[in-house]
Amino acid sequence: MSKDFWVAPCTHTIRNFTLLLSYENWEDVFLEKGANILFNNFLSTYLRIFYASFPNIKTKHTHNPKPWITSSIRTSCTNKRKLYLTRRQSNNPTLKEHYKAYCQTFSKVIMLAKKLYYNNLINKSNNKPKTAWNIVRTITNKGKVKNNRTTMNVKNKLTNNPLTIANAFNKYFVSVAEDLLTKNTLKNNTNNYIDPLTHLQQNFRQTSILMNLKNTTKHEIGKIIHSLKSKDSSGYDGISSRILKISAPYVLSPLTFIFNKSLLTGIFP
Which residues 6+ apart lie within 8 Å of 45 measured at CB? 24, 26, 28, 29
- Per-residue confidence (pLDDT) for residue 223, from 0 to 100: 94
Nearest to 26 by CA among 55, 60, 54, 49: 49
Domain limits, the chain: 2-63+211-265, 71-140, 152-186
Nearest to 99 by CA among 70, 127, 128, 79: 79
- Per-residue confidence (pLDDT) for residue 2, from 0 to 100: 46
Q: List beta partners, residue 208.
A: none
Which residues 6+ apart lie within 8 Å of 184 measured at CB? none
68 close to 114: Cβ distance less than 8 angstroms: yes
Question: What string of pLDDT tens digits covers the 269 residues of the chain?
Answer: 444 555 567 788 889 999 999 999 999 889 888 888 999 999 999 999 998 888 876 555 555 667 878 888 888 888 888 888 888 778 888 888 888 888 889 899 888 988 898 888 888 888 888 888 888 887 777 655 555 667 888 888 888 888 888 888 888 888 877 777 777 666 656 556 667 777 777 777 666 666 777 899 999 999 999 999 988 888 777 888 999 999 999 999 999 999 999 988 888 88
Calpha distance 220→224 (Å, rounded): 6
Calpha distance 261→254 (Å, rounded): 11
- Per-residue confidence (pLDDT) for residue 57, from 0 to 100: 62
DSSP 6: E
Write out the H or E segment, with its range, that includes residue 44.
Answer: helix 35-53
Percent of residues in the chain assigned helix, strand, coil, to nearest 5:
65, 5, 30
Q: Specify the pTM.
A: 0.48
